Each structure stands twice: as C-alpha cells, then as structure tokens.
Structure 1
Amino acid sequence: MRLRVVSTLSALAAGFVVVLTGSPAQAATLPAGAASLESVNYPGRYARHLNALGQLEAVTSASAAQTKLDATFTVVNGLASPACYSFQTKAGLFLRHYNYRLRVDANAGDATFRGDATFCAVDGSVAGSVSLVSYNYPARRIRHRDFALWLDAYQDTAAFRADSSFRITAPWAPKTTANPVLPGLFADPHIANFNGRYYLYPTTDGYASWSGTYYKAFSSTDLVNWTDHGVILDHGPDVSWADNSAWAPAVTAKNGQYYLYFSGGLASGNTAKQLGVAVSASPTGPFRDALGRPLVTSGQFSGGQAIDPMVFTDDSGQSYLYWGQGVARVVPLNADMVSYDAAQVRTITPSGYNEAPFVFKRNGTYYLMWSENDTRSEDYRIAYATGTSPYGPWTNRGVVLQKRLDAGIRGPGHHSVVRAPGTDTWYIAYHRFAVPAGNGTNRETAIDPMRFNADGTIAPIVPTL
C-alpha cells in the first residue's frame, strides 16, 4: 500500500494571504524528501514531466523506470521562502510555472525563477491531500486540465478543488544512494557533534550570486536520517548590518551556550562581506546577533575577504577563530567567544589556499584543511597541511578530495570534519555540484568517511553517490 501524508496546520509565508470566497484554506506541511503527487480525482495518475512539460499520467509498478523517475520529486525548502516548498526532479530540475504552464527547468537562481518554482501548501479537497498555491500568484493553484498541469485562478467549486488536490505518496523512484544527505540545495556544510547528536549547518543554496538570507539546522543520530529544525537565523529580521549573502555558518559550544559564526553582506550593491557571531541556548536556535555589529569588518585586515569562519578549541580550552578567502587568518578568541585582540591576528595562508579553512587535532597533530580553486569550477577541491600548533608551522600534504567524473561528481569542497564521540572514526561533510545538473550555485551536501594512514596522514577520500 502506498503511503499517504495527512497535512497539519502551520504558518504560511510571512505576508502571504489566500483570499477565497468559500471556506478558508488552511496551511499544510509537506515532508521533505522524495515523494510522488497523486491526483485526488484520478487515483493512479501522478504529476510527472514529459518533454519538460507537467502532465498527469498513470503510473503503476509495471511502468518503465523512466516514467517512475519522471513522477518522482524531491520536496525541498521553497526557493523563494522556507515556509513554502519547491519540487526538484531526479535530474536536478525544478517544477515551475511559465506563462501559467507547469514545466521543469534548471534553476536559474534569480528572484523570478525562485518565485515561479515556489508553492505554498494548503489543505486539499479531501483529508490527507494538499493543494499547491503559487508563491508569486497566490490566487492561482496547480491543477490539471485535460491531464496537463496548469497554474489556474482559484475557483470555489468542487470540481476545481478536486482538480487542484494531490496526495503526497511514497516516491515511485525512491532514493538509492547515500548522498546527498540533505534533500535540496545546500552548501558549505559545518558538521558538529553536541551531546552525542550530529548537527549540520549549511549555506542555503540555489541563489544567484549566493544571495540567500537564512540558515537552517539539521540533526541526526546516525548521519543518515536528518531532522530539519527550520530557520535558525535570518539576516533580514535578525541581523541589522547584513541582509544578504548568508554564507558558511559554523557552530561551536562553550560557556553553556552555542555560538554561530557566519558571513554576511548587503544586497545594495556593496559586495564587501563581514563576519558576525550569534548566540543561542540551543544548537537548533533560534540564534540572536550577539554584538549588533560585525565581529570582523570588511577591510579591517589588509588582503583577502572576510568570509568562511570556523572555530577550533584546543585541549587547553583556548578557542581560535579562523577565516578568510584569498588569505587565511587566525586569532585566539577571548573567553566570551565574541571578542578578540586584533593585534594577535596572524596570517597562515598555505600554498594553493583559496578559502574555507578548517582545523582539528588528532593524536597531538594539528590539521589545517582548505579549499582550492573557485567553487564555480568542477576543479574545486580540498587540500590540507599538518602542524605542531594552532598557528603551524604547516607542512603541506596535498589534495585529499577532488572531482570524480566517472560518477558525475564535480566540485567537491568547502568541508568540515567530525569525530564520532569516544572513537577514532571520522567523517567529512562537504558540498559538490548537485548531481547531475548542478553548478556553482546549485550545490548539495554529502558525507563520507575520512580515514588516516599509520603515519597520521589522511588517506585519499573517494566521494560517493
């Protein structure tokens, strides 16, 4: 028997109102991950794409594998609003409306595409069903007409309500690979373990010029099944000095609090980025801006860009802040974790370094890892060095993770690592171009084991599907 998901009440996107002449619709929640959409009034027919156009067609266990793929979507955060939803195909395309016709296209990342590919869910015509309302045309819903999918103006009739209602069912083509670990587009993942539970803090991706505004948190006990904890910090309402470019969050625990370090900028055309810090009593937030101003300002230190922060805490309890694109820097943080002595900032840029520094310690050896090349390049990759202190000196050990074209994996980089508590088992989280249709602004998060050789060097990491 195929699964059905009963909708529950939740808030619609801020400011989003559906005006109906009949009974008011109620907001509905959808489960993230792979799913298929079955017509309410034509059971056995499912939304699918055929030659890019949205159709309603019969799918059975005897259907061709491609038909099942075409009738399977990954439900992800709405590209235009995390309170709504977008639907990604197995080939990495997104369901969107174009001249009110439903079709699938590659994510252009701009505001128009994000709005066209975002739908808010309300209760459908029968229990357990949903109706999908256009984000940018809230008086219109997805409905089938002669088995073609259109975005039509809402009509308060039983026929329209049935034509625009779908059951969210188990996917016809379920996920068969370990990666990506998160549904949808996420990059720059920071992985941590707090109190025996794993947490992922990624950049929300899929935006032109990486102009996303908010961060989410995910948690897991097994690195396979992840719980979405929603938005934990939004530059718009939560950060007075930044409203754009919410990049590369990193979270650490200290003083009975959780500190979120992040990069931020403005949408006004000023491309300068700055670093901030936010604090929460919970690893899943909500976080509040701890300073009301940047922790590291643009141009405060000569050379490089102030992005990609991370914090390493040594065995002594001293915490160090690392950051920088083009130039890698480190400074010991004060005990309050939100201040430092600028005179103690040091430059530690290794050969080949571009961005995304990450430091950890194993068996008395310090490891500095970083990303080389540009994140828009399929040659984006991870290299590392070893040292005897948080400052080095560093011995360059070369590249440990790079593209794997035989598997369609391109641009793996901007990583973090975590050790399973009480063990010498390590994992690396990183992003790559979404497989198969991704690029430098359409990236997904993967996790693979990270192993060490007998001499303490890191064995080459093979990225997996």
Structure 2
Amino acid sequence: MRSPALRRTRLAALLALTLVPAALVPPAEAAPTTIALGRASFESVNYPGRFVRHQDWLGRIDPVTSSSSAQLKQDASFTVVPGLASPSCYSFQAVNGQFLRHRDYRVRLETNDGSAAFRGDATFCAETGSVSGSVSFTSYNFPQRRLRHRDSALWIDTYQDTALFRADSSFQLRSPWAPKTNTNPVIPGLFADPHITYLDGRYYLYPTTDGYASWSSPSYTAWSSTDRVTWTSHGVVLDLGPDVSWADNSAWAPAVVAKNGKYYMYFSGGAASGDTAKHLGVAVADSPAGPFRDALGKPLVRAGTYSGQAIDPMVFTDKDGQSYLYWGNGTAWVVPLNADMTSFDPAKVKNITPSGFREASFVFERQGTYYFMWSENDTRDENYQVAYATSTSPLGPWTKRGVVLSKRLDLGIKGTGHHSVVQAPGTDTWYVAYHRFAVPAGNGTNREVAIDRMTFRTDGTIVPIEPTL
C-alpha cells in the first residue's frame, strides 16, 4: 500500500486525467508493457543514434557512438530497476547511483531522498511505443504526461495525439554503452536485509524493499536463481495493508522456511494505526514464489512483549526437525516453534544476547557446530558489520568469535550487514548474502544486495569475508 500522501497524489493525477480534453488522452491502442530489469541504454525512435543521457544533471538526448568518450557512454547508460513508487513500474538509475526524476516537468538526475514525492517523480510506467519494439514512459504521478524529448531536452509533457509527439516519446531499449562489469549487486535496485535460501531446486532471495524514508516500504518481493548470478523477479509476494490487517508499513527483514509442505514467511510490520511500534508476523504460501497470506490475522510477537524491537525474524530447523525462531533488536531472543510453525510456548523464550549485538540474528549448523551470527552498530553507519559466535546447541551457550564481514573502503564498500547464509546443496560451499550502501552514492536507506563466498578454517572458524564489487 502506498503512503497516504502518495495515494492522494496518484488520485489527484487520475482525476486530472478525466478532466483533460479527449485529444490529450493516450490512444486506446496504448497498452501497458514490461521491460527487462538491468543495465540498458535508450535510443530515440525519431533520431536514431541519439540516446537518453544526463549532462550537468539535466536529462537530454545526444549522439553516442563507439568512439564516444567513456564518460559519455556512462552518462548514456542506466540500470532499469523496479519503480521506487511502484514495483510494477520502473525507475532509471545512473551509473553514479542517482535517479532520473522530473521536477517542474523537467527531467534531471538527483539522489533519492526516500520521500514519497521523489519516489513518484522518479517512477515511470511503460507503454507500447510508436513503432514495433519501442516503449513509451508515462509519469507515475502524472499519468497524462509522458517522458519525451523536446529540442533535445527531456521533459514530461502532456500527451498529444500526434505522430510527432508519439515519436518524441518513444524509445528503443539497446545494449548499454557502459555494461555492468561487477558481480554485485546481484539484483537491480534498492534492496536490503536479504534472506537467501535454497528451495525446490532454486535459490531464493527475499529482501526488504529499500529507498523509502524511515524504511516505510509496504511490500516484499521474491527473486529466484539457479546459479546465484541471474535472478528472476517474482514481483510482490506480500503487501502489507491489502494482505495484512494489522500492519500497512515498514515491511522489514523477512525470513522464509519450508515446513509441512508449506512455505512460511516471518516478517515485521508497522501498525495500521500509525503507531511506530513494530510487530512480528507470519504468513504462509503454497509456493516459495508466493503469494503469501497472513497466517494468524494478528502478530505472532506483539511489540512490547519482550525487550527490544520485535523485528528481524529468522528460523533455523535442526536435523531432528525442530524449528527455532530467532528475533530482536537490542536483545536477541530464541524460542522453539510448535509443529504448526505459527505458535510457541512463551515459557520457552530465551534471551541469548551476545556482546555487541544490535540485530539481524542468523543461525546455521555445519559439521556439528552451530553458528549464531548478527549485525553490530546501526544500519545507517558505514561501520555496520557482521559478527558471530559458536555453540554445540541451537540454544547456546555461545562463544563469541569476532567480526567476519565489514566495510572495505578501498572499493568504496560501506555498511556491510544484515546478512544470511546458504549452503550449495550437496557441497561444503557456502555463500553469504548481505546489504551494503549502494555503490557509489548509497546510504542507510539507499542500499543494495551483494553475495560473496564464505569459507572456513580447519578448526571450523569462519575466514573473514571479503566484500567484492
């Protein structure tokens, strides 16, 4: 569910659309379309060889060729990401990490401030273009206006039912002039708190949707892959508000586990009343790709029941089939789950808080050793990092071993934390998924998801993980 302010903006725009003259309404044959996520360049339909680019922060179309400078090729390359205001639309992120947005109808490049206004201004919905294979983009919050070039400058202009306007507002997606060369981020866009797992022969990622002020995103998406490199988006799999009666914002840090022939998503959400408290809930689905539905109609762990915030759930299932729920911010809690996976005995809740613990519990077992991992410091701090402890039991007691994942300033990598771990089936090969400040222009609410190898010494301790670009 969108924020009230953004919903009002969208409604006003839709009402405005009903009031414009018929000649200004897009033709009936214009239809929504989809485009591929990832790096691309956009070529003008009626000026072949001219591409959308930014110059001095302003959007325009200019000639780009194989002999153009490296800087011009970068300026004409964008990453197509799920729309900041709506995952069914699109946003365009430049190589420098900023986004194309319109302000006073002029298209320019700016840093995402997380506000509803910015997200709406930086989101464009795709429609079929004027020639075969081309695409047009309507403004998310002014749907009667389209992205078009006028005197080489990019604007969002009110639709005109003319051949010239349709051509000026149509683009061909081309291979990027500056292709992505780094492994990370593994999924395009602003995401954080990734939970990675292996289900039904595929790897699945369930991240928090980032880029919202105060981390107020209302929905979760799912992504899957066979090789941890190429990821398929399954779209929104749980949308607070429509899908959850007791929460409509702050969809934070999910975790998904398979049990009883079902898939359970544990998640945090803000109360629909506007209360800032976060509650922990559980949703269930018949497929790891969702859709998930609220299993209880109420929180599984209500805010204030235990010290610290009721956030960052994680479920570990031991070899004997017993599943354990971990959660907490400031205090780390664990409890055995009942067989139904949606309840537990409050008398069995245990405090296992280690020194330095902030949030993001994660537990796994390897060769008889249990590993309890967590994040330290604040997610807005470049020193956000991952530490761990070991035990002979999923309940502890735990022996702290130290920090294993932290920033790497020589590569501009900051804020490495809120991780999860997955084992490649049938091997002793392990991977860690985590978020970091988006490189190069990210911060604590503009984060991206990375995956790197995790290895072990002969004594079972974890070798410090090197974050990579």
The alignment's TM-score, normalised by the length of structure 1, stands at 0.96
After superposition, give the CA deviation of every residue in 1:112-156 in whole Å (9 maximum; x if it has no partner). 000000111111111111111001111111111110001111101
Offset of residue 171 of structure 1: 0.8
| 1:422-437 map, 5 Å | 422-437=426-441
Task: Give the Cα separation in 2 of the matches to 1:396 and 1:246.
Answer: 30
1:178 is the counterpart of 2:191: no
Percent identity over the alignment?
71
1:127 is the counterpart of 2:132: yes
Write out the 4+ residue segments of structure 1 that deviate beyond 2 Å after TM superposition: 14-19, 21-24, 266-269
| 1:199-238 map, 5 Å | 199-238=204-243
After superposition, give the CA deviation of every residue in 1:57-76 in whole Å (9 maximum; x if it has no partner). 00111111111111111111
Q: Secondary structure at the match of 1:38?
A: strand
Task: Give the Cα separation in 2 of the matches to 1:419 and 1:60.
Answer: 44
Offset of residue 269 of structure 1: 4.0
Q: Secondary structure at the match of 2:357?
A: coil
Offset of residue 83 of structure 1: 1.2
Task: Give the Cα separation in 2 of the matches to 1:422 and 1:245.
Answer: 37
Equivalent residue, structure 1, for 2:117 = 112
1:440 is the counterpart of 2:414: no
Describe the shift of the 1:21–1:103 C-alpha distance in structure 2 as closer, same or farther (beyond 3 A). Answer: closer
Counterpart residue type for residue 162 of structure 2: T
Task: Give the Cα separation in 2 of the matches to 1:384 and 1:102.
Answer: 46
Of 326, 330, 336, the match for 1:326: 330
Structure 2, unmatched stretches of 5+, are 1-9, 19-24
After superposition, give the CA deviation of every residue in 1:84-107 in whole Å (9 maximum; x if it has no partner). 110001111000001110001000
Equivalent residue, structure 1, for 2:88 = 83
Task: Give the Cα separation in 1 of the matches to 2:422 and 2:447.
Answer: 21
Equivalent residue, structure 2, for 1:159 = 164
Counterpart residue type for residue 433 of structure 1: F
Equivalent residue, structure 1, for 2:34 = 29
Q: Secondary structure at the match of 2:247?
A: coil
Equivalent residue, structure 1, for 2:21 = none
Equivalent residue, structure 1, for 2:362 = 358
Of 391, 398, 401, the match for 2:395: 391
Equivalent residue, structure 2, for 1:60 = 65
Counterpart residue type for residue 366 of structure 1: Y
Equivalent residue, structure 2, for 1:5 = none
Q: Secondary structure at the match of 2:242?
A: helix
Equivalent residue, structure 1, for 2:6 = none
Task: Give the Cα separation in 2 of the matches to 1:285 and 1:194.
Answer: 12
After superposition, give the CA deviation of every residue in 1:38-68 in whole Å (9 maximum; x if it has no partner). 1000011000000100010001111111111
Q: Secondary structure at the match of 1:383?
A: strand
Equivalent residue, structure 1, for 2:318 = 314
Q: Secondary structure at the match of 2:241?
A: helix
- Does the 8 Å CA contact 2:241/2:272 hold for their aligned counterparts? no
Equivalent residue, structure 1, for 2:373 = 369
| 1:248-397 map, 5 Å | 248-266=253-271, 268-301=273-306, 303-397=307-401
Counterpart residue type for residue 275 of structure 2: N
Equivalent residue, structure 2, for 1:136 = 141
Task: Give the Cα separation in 2 of the matches to 1:294 and 1:24.
Answer: 46
Task: Give the Cα separation in 1 of the matches to 2:81 and 2:228.
Answer: 19
Structure 1, unmatched stretches of 5+, are 1-13
Q: Secondary structure at the match of 2:331?
A: coil
Offset of residue 268 of structure 1: 4.8
After superposition, give the CA deviation of every residue in 1:6-49 in whole Å (9 maximum; x if it has no partner). xxxxxxxx989677264341001011001111100001100000
Offset of residue 196 of structure 1: 2.4
- Does the 8 Å CA contact 2:44/2:52 hold for their aligned counterparts? yes
Task: Give the Cα separation in 2 of the matches to 1:22 and 1:374.
Answer: 50
Equivalent residue, structure 1, for 2:7 = none
Of 102, 106, 110, the match for 2:107: 102
Counterpart residue type for residue 386 of structure 1: T
Equivalent residue, structure 1, for 2:197 = 192
Cα-Cα RMSD: 1.2
